[in-house]
Structure 1
Amino acid sequence: MRPAEFEPICVQEAVDRYVEMVRAKALTGQFSPATAEVYCRDMAVFAELAGPGRLLDDLDGADVDAVLLAFARRPDGRRRRHDPPPAGRALQSAASQARFRRSVSVFFRYAATAGWVRLDPMRAVTVMPRQRGGLRAERRALTAEQAGGLVQAARRLAECGPAEARTGRAARRDQRTEIRDGLVVLLLATVGPRVSELTGANVEDFFVNDGRWYWRIFGKGGRTRDVPLPEAVARVLQAYLERGRPLLDRGVEPKALLLSWRGRRLARGDVQAVIDRVLARVEPSRRRAVTPHGLRHTTATHLLAAATDMDAVRRVLGHADLATLSRYRDELPGELEAAMRVHPLLKDQAPGG
Structure 2
Amino acid sequence: MHDIADGSVARLIEEFLTDRATRKPSPHTLAAYRRDLTIVAALTGPDGTTPLPIGRVPISTLSPQVMRRAFARFAAPRATASVHRAWSTWNSFFTFLVAEGVVPGNPMPAVGRPRAPLPRPKPLRGEDTPEELLAAVARERGRQRDPWPERDLAVLALALCAGLRLSELLALRVASVAGRDGERRVDVAGKGGRPRTVPIEAAVDRVLVDYLDSRRRRFGARSVRPDSALLVDRRGAPLRRGGLQYLVESCFRRAGIGDRVPKGARLHALRHTFATRLAEDGASAAEIMRLLGHASLASSQTYIEVTAGQQRAAVRSNRTNQALANVLSGG
TM-score by length of 1: 0.51
By how many angstroms is 1:198 displaced? 0.4
Alpha-carbon distance in structure 1 between the residues aligned to 2:292 and 2:257: 29
Which has the larger share of helix?
Answer: 2
Partner of 2:213: 242
By how many angstroms is 1:259 displaced? 0.7
Partner of 1:260: 233
For the pair 1:106 / 2:76, whether they are aligned, the reply is yes
Of 215-224 and 320-329, deviating more is: 320-329
Match of 1:291 among 249, 253, 266: 266
Specify every segment of 5 or more residues in structure 1 that has no aligned partner in the other structure, as ranges.
1-25, 37-101, 109-121, 132-137, 342-353
- RMSD over aligned CA atoms reads 4.1
For the pair 1:277 / 2:250, whether they are aligned, the reply is yes
Alpha-carbon distance in structure 1 between the residues aligned to 2:73 and 2:306: 28
Q: What percentage of residue pairs aligned between the two structures are identical?
A: 29
The verdict on how the C-alpha distance between 1:339 and 1:304 changes in structure 2, with shifts beyond 3 A counting, is farther
Partner of 1:324: 299
The verdict on how the C-alpha distance between 1:206 and 1:252 changes in structure 2, with shifts beyond 3 A counting, is closer
Alpha-carbon distance in structure 2 between the residues aligned to 1:329 and 1:270: 32
After superposition, residues 82-97 of structure 1 pair within 5 angstroms as: none
Count, aligned residues: 222
By how many angstroms is 1:239 displaced? 1.2
For the pair 1:315 / 2:290, whether they are aligned, the reply is yes
Alpha-carbon distance in structure 1 between the residues aligned to 2:149 and 2:298: 37
Which secondary structure state, in structure 2, belongs to the residue aligned with residue 319 of structure 1?
coil
Deviations 1:285-306 (A, max 9, x none): 9632532223323322332233
For the pair 1:225 / 2:196, whether they are aligned, the reply is yes
Deviations 1:109-164 (A, max 9, x none): xxxxxxxxxxxxx4699xx99x9xxxxxx785224516x32443224423x34xx2
Does structure 2 conserve the Cα–Cα contact (< 8 Å) formed by 1:150 and 1:287? no
By how many angstroms is 1:250 displaced? 5.5
By how many angstroms is 1:35 displaced? 4.2
Does structure 2 conserve the Cα–Cα contact (< 8 Å) formed by 1:154 and 1:181? no
Does structure 2 conserve the Cα–Cα contact (< 8 Å) formed by 1:216 and 1:227? yes
Match of 1:180 among 129, 138, 151: 151
By how many angstroms is 1:103 displaced? 7.7
Alpha-carbon distance in structure 1 between the residues aligned to 2:159 and 2:300: 17
Partner of 1:141: 122
Specify every segment of 5 or more residues in structure 2 that has no aligned partner in the other structure, as ranges.
1-42, 53-71, 90-118, 318-331
Deviations 1:202-257 (A, max 9, x none): 11111232424211112134432221113332221121122245443565987111
Which secondary structure state, in structure 2, belongs to the residue aligned with residue 226 of structure 1?
strand
TM-score by length of 2: 0.54
